[in-house]
Amino acid sequence: MIRIFDAEKVPESEIFSRREPVRDVSGAVSEIIEKVRREGDAALKYYSEKFDGVSLERFEVTPDEIENARESVGSDFLRILERAAANIRRFHEKQLRTGFEIRDEAGIVLGQKITPVDRAGLYVPGGTAAYPSTVLMDAIPAKIAGVGETVMVTPPSKNGGVNRFILAAASVAGVDRIFKVGGAQAIAALAYGTESVPRVDKIVGPGNAFVAEAKRQVYGQVSIDMIAGPSEILVIADKNSDPVCVAADLLSQAEHDRNASAVLVTDSRELALAVRDEIERQIEKLERKEIARASIDDNGKIIVAKDIPSAVAISDRIAPEHLELCLDDPFSWLGRVKHAGSVFLGRNCPEALGDYMAGPNHTLPTGGSARFASPLSVDDFVKKTQFIYYPEDAASAAADDVAAFARCEGLTGHAQSALTRKKR
């Protein structure tokens, strides 16, 4: 049963504590990465047999497999995918950056240009749950950014196939190549390349502890989006909120993962008690009730705050991945929120809308990293290059200042480089 805390009576350590997974997989992941670096496709074949229980002669998904998947999911679901994709495109197109130039009277030109990465790797989970929504959320911003090639990896099933909904979503999103590889070995393949899987410049997408650790270890060889942890939701709700809806929203995240975190912060003890009872009623109806039960019992919390401003302050301390403001005038509170991955405004906007249809990205910072990190966006698939031009007179005029700076740092070669441009 979910625990209820009184914010005024219990230690902060109880309110703000996080239960983190304790399993250390760094050694195992390091071995997997090294084997893939050395052996390429042979290592991928070995790990597919070991972890996925399937022997693959070919890793890349064929056009026929994609077409069969589209036919299998049916036209109705394809239309849903297309509607979601259109919403995601509309939102992310607003994120496109342009470069700039600064020119002055002396003829100096300064600027910045924006260039997409050549190739992006998209990791899509395929274990206890398959997420076609993640395909759309990862691939569409990359396409909008102008990435040259998108390469998707996802674990194979025991029959050597790939989840049909994932393949259909990849088709809708315009993914260029798809490979039947999962886990840390897939991240290693994207980072270093194999005979089949091309090396990429950036890897994005969530995964289990092995995937997260692999991304951590290959960072620097390639760029990554973030180290994603278990899913989180925090709901701020007042006494006018419907406990049925609040409980359903908390459970929507609890069913993701045993380590997921579902938190309600409210100024109403009556709502807290009603939500606790409603969670117990609804949890029995979930197909993934065992997972949800572990999440609610181990990580779930209801925090009773003295008022809504205090509730917002508590939320900012937690910095949740998803924040719902189930309040009468949510827009008046939005400006007070500093730390959250994505904010859902009002009583009719469940987090699930953001997962699938609304358009803003659902790959979000977790584990409190919303204090300094941002959702996946078009920015993740571009890089910025600066440029500088000084004409002869401007370089000569700046030479003494540059040389003084250089000598201050003990770099006389820098000073000489500038002074050679000084008119004599």
> At a CB cut-off of 8 Å and minimum separation 6, what does 356 contact?
84, 133, 362
Query: How many C-beta neighbours within 10 Å does residue 75 have?
Result: 9
Residue 351: active-site member = no
Residue of 213, 232, 256, 322 marked active site: 322
- Measured CA to CA in angstroms, residue 232 lies from 19, 185, 375 at distances of 12, 27, 14
Q: Which of 333, 266, 351 is nearest to 301 (CA)?
A: 266
| CA distances from residue 137 to 172, 206, 403 in whole angstroms, order as listed | 12, 11, 49
- Residues 152 and 175: beta-carbon distance below 8 Å: yes
Q: What is the largest CA-CA distance in the chain?
A: 87
Contacts of residue 236, defined as CB under 8 A and 6 or more positions apart, other chains included, come to 265, 266, 308, 311, 312, 315, 323, 324, 325, 326, 327, 333
Question: Does residue 322 have an active-site annotation?
Answer: yes
Where do we find the tokens 């897939």? Answer: 186
Q: Measured between alpha carbons, how far is 147 from 310 in angstroms, rounded to an integer? A: 44
Catalytic residue chosen out of the listed positions 213, 278, 321, 324: 321
Q: Give the rounded distance of the alpha carbon of 162 from its chain centre.
A: 22
Q: Tell me which residues are annotated as active site.
A: 321-322
